[in-house]
A and B are shown apart, each in its own frame.
Chain A
Amino acid sequence: MIETARPAAIAPVTAAGRPILEIEGLRVGFPGPGGNPPTVVLDGVDLTIRQGEILGLVGESGSGKSMLALAAMGLLPAPGRVLSGAIRIEGRDLTSLSERAWQQLRGGTLGMVFQDPMTGLNPVRSIGATLGESIRRHQRVAASDVARIAEAALRAVGIPAARERLSAYPHQLSGGLRQRVMIALALVNRPRVIIADEPTTALDATIQAQILDLLRERLHHAEGAGGLMITHDLGVAAEVCDRIAVIYHGRIVETGQTREVLADPRHPYTAGLLAAVPRFDGRGRRLVPIPGQPPGPAAERISCSFRPRCARASEACSAAPALSPPVQGRSVACHHSGGGQ
């Protein structure tokens, strides 16, 4: 019963593999009513995920983090669309893909894990049928092998009595087991990219911990694959991700190695988030909230979006800062991040 989870060896920066998922200058918008300019929910997002690494995309509601995940899965809700920029998996641009090509990609090259596993599992099909269908669609295997592969996939995600579970239906499983099935489904066809959108938000604390362990272990073991994890919780990102990117109002404001960003946040928003979250070593210390509200997606983008809430805002902030070129893997979009405090 007791497992002492060992943190997976976090790959050193230098050993990072080839870029596997590249997002370049991605702009996503929803057309305004009556020919008005579109509401831009992602405004020039650049992200690179390399083989063997997990990138955590951290942001609040309305920051555009889920839109990024949906865009990368070809699931943008209508009438939203990619206005410009590129999404590439192993160099192949996906932005002009047909729906049929997306369907071939999803579940195969692209594994997906959602917050609510019930959205990803067909309630009237057994786990085995769902897994089997996915295996047959994406792999060329003998029919007799399908059940064996499915069972192995369930075992790999720590589902006890895997063979019996194949005939179970989603509603017969607990929330934690369902999310394990979802992860098995995402991994069964040896994807190149795995996208997990708030995969543990709906789970209880002890189950969340189990799933985070599993994600960390399986994503790192998935050979040559890269992972993108969307979360609102810095703690969750800290547990699983090698690197994190903080998104605010549709723009990346800071990226870097997880430990470095958390230990030494350079963007005032990242620093603000860290100061606003209760920590076990912070008892009695008053939390420092970020004043104001996160801007809605429709808010203007003339100045730095964080300016109205920023203690360090100055005249310079009336121009939106660009994300700095990476220095030792770190980039910041802030006019004040340069020299010292």
Chain B
Amino acid sequence: MTTADRSGAPRALLPRLRLWPAGGAGTAMLGIGLVMVAVLLVLALTVGLNPPREALTGNLRLRFRPPGTEGYLMGTDQLGRSVAGRVGAGMVWSLGIALVAATLALALGTVLGLIAAWVPGWPRRVIRTLIDTVIAFPSLVIAVTVIAIMGRGFWTLAITLGLATCPIAARVVYAEAMSLARRDYVVAAQLAGVGSTTILATHVLPALRPTLLTMFAFTFADMLVAESALSFLGLGVPLTAPSWGNMLSESREFLVEAPWLMLAPAGAIVFAVVALNLIGDGIAARARRRGRSAM
């Protein structure tokens, strides 16, 4: 008999990186991720906003010093600039752009998704068409096109990436809000005469919170990688700016003689992405567990 095997249905696949086993580990993941982000934040606010002189002005007599050289934790680059200092300074560019882009994508996506879910008729049709159209193009291609026209720069890049990504957020919010709209407790509120805005604020947004937080962490990580990729291609921030992507791009020429030029920014990107994924997975795991115990 093929029946009633205890194994049951296959486990739902977790999105993205699975860095931790399922179960009560959500809090641990979240904790480690938050600590890692806190480290990044402290560095960004100290080194990043106030980069040491060695990071910006080089000393040609000190080119290609390996990591550990006195005063240069991560060595120096082809112009004798401090790599550690540049990684720190790059935070403002890389993390800043990712933060602005992710915030924009989520905020706009949430508004569009909620409108599409709550206002049937033409608003829903228009937004859904828009979402499907934009999602059909890879967001990097859109970003490349816009930047080719608009030019480089912090805000251009941040806003372009945010706009190109918001349909993904909008689609997730739309789908969840549609399922929430059918919940009995939402119908009950409607039948009690509660207005749509109040229902969205009191029932729908609180229920969306774990999803939004998870999505924010993942989108942030995506944006970080996207910024690096665009800068690597020479389409990101101004070439002189010490963003992580630019550093990676420049390091290509010296890969053999000075691999640390590549490893330092790459390590920073991986560190940030892992931190954000831990946070995202942690929130998702905790929300799932709470959802189970509430039922």
Contact = CB atoms under 8 A, between A and B. Distances in A.
A and B touch in the complex (CB under 8 A): yes
Interface string B4-25: 1010000000000000000000
B3 A121 contact: yes
Interface residues of A, number: 19
A75 B1 CA distance: 13
B4 A112 contact: yes
Contacts of B3: 106-107, 112, 114, 119-122, 185
B2 A77 contact: no
B1 A77 contact: no
A305 interface: no
Interface string A207-233: 000000000000000000000000000
Interface string A111-123: 0101000011110
A107 B6 CA distance: 15
B4 A77 contact: no
A134 B6 contact: no
A125 interface: yes
Contacts of A73: 4
Interface in A111-157: 112, 114, 119-122, 125, 130, 133-134, 137
A119 B4 CA distance: 6
B292 to A, nearest CB: 14
A133 B4 contact: no
A120 B6 contact: no
Q: Count chain A CB atoms within 10 A of each CB in B1, B3, B4, B6 and give the residue with the most.
A: B1
Contacts of B6: 75, 77-78
A40 B3 CA distance: 27
Nearest to B8: A119
B2 A130 contact: yes
Contacts of B2: 122, 125, 130, 133-134
B interface, how many residues as a size bin? under 10
A156 B6 CA distance: 29
B1 A134 contact: yes
Contacts of A122: 2-3
Nearest to B3: A120
A122 B1 CA distance: 10
A137 B4 contact: no
A77 B3 CA distance: 15
B289 to A, nearest CB: 15
Contacts of B1: 103, 106-107, 112, 120, 133-134, 137, 185
Nearest to A121: B3
A273 B270 CA distance: 63
Nearest to A119: B4
Interface string A163-202: 0000000000000000000000100000000000000000
Contacts of A121: 3
B195 to A, nearest CB: 36
Contacts of A114: 3-4
A36 B4 CA distance: 30
Nearest to A188: B1
A103 B1 CA distance: 8
A122 B3 CA distance: 7
Contacts of A185: 1, 3
A150 to B, nearest CB: 14
Nearest to A73: B4
Contacts of B4: 73, 75, 106, 112, 114, 119-120
A106 B6 CA distance: 13
A106 B4 CA distance: 10
Nearest to A107: B1
A31 to B, nearest CB: 16
B5 to A, nearest CB: 9
Nearest to A182: B3
B3 to A, nearest CB: 4
Contacts of A120: 1, 3-4
A171 B4 CA distance: 17
Nearest to B1: A107
Nearest to A105: B1
Nearest to B6: A75
B11 to A, nearest CB: 15
B115 to A, nearest CB: 36
The 8 A-B pairs at the shortest CB distance, nearest first, are namely: A107-B1, A120-B3, A122-B2, A134-B1, A106-B1, A75-B4, A119-B4, A120-B4
Given A106-B3, A134-B2, 6 more contacts: A103-B1, A106-B1, A112-B3, A119-B4, A134-B1, A185-B1
Interface of B: 1-4, 6
14 contacts: A73-B4, A75-B6, A77-B6, A106-B3, A106-B4, A107-B1, A112-B3, A120-B4, A121-B3, A122-B3, A133-B2, A134-B2, A137-B1, A185-B3
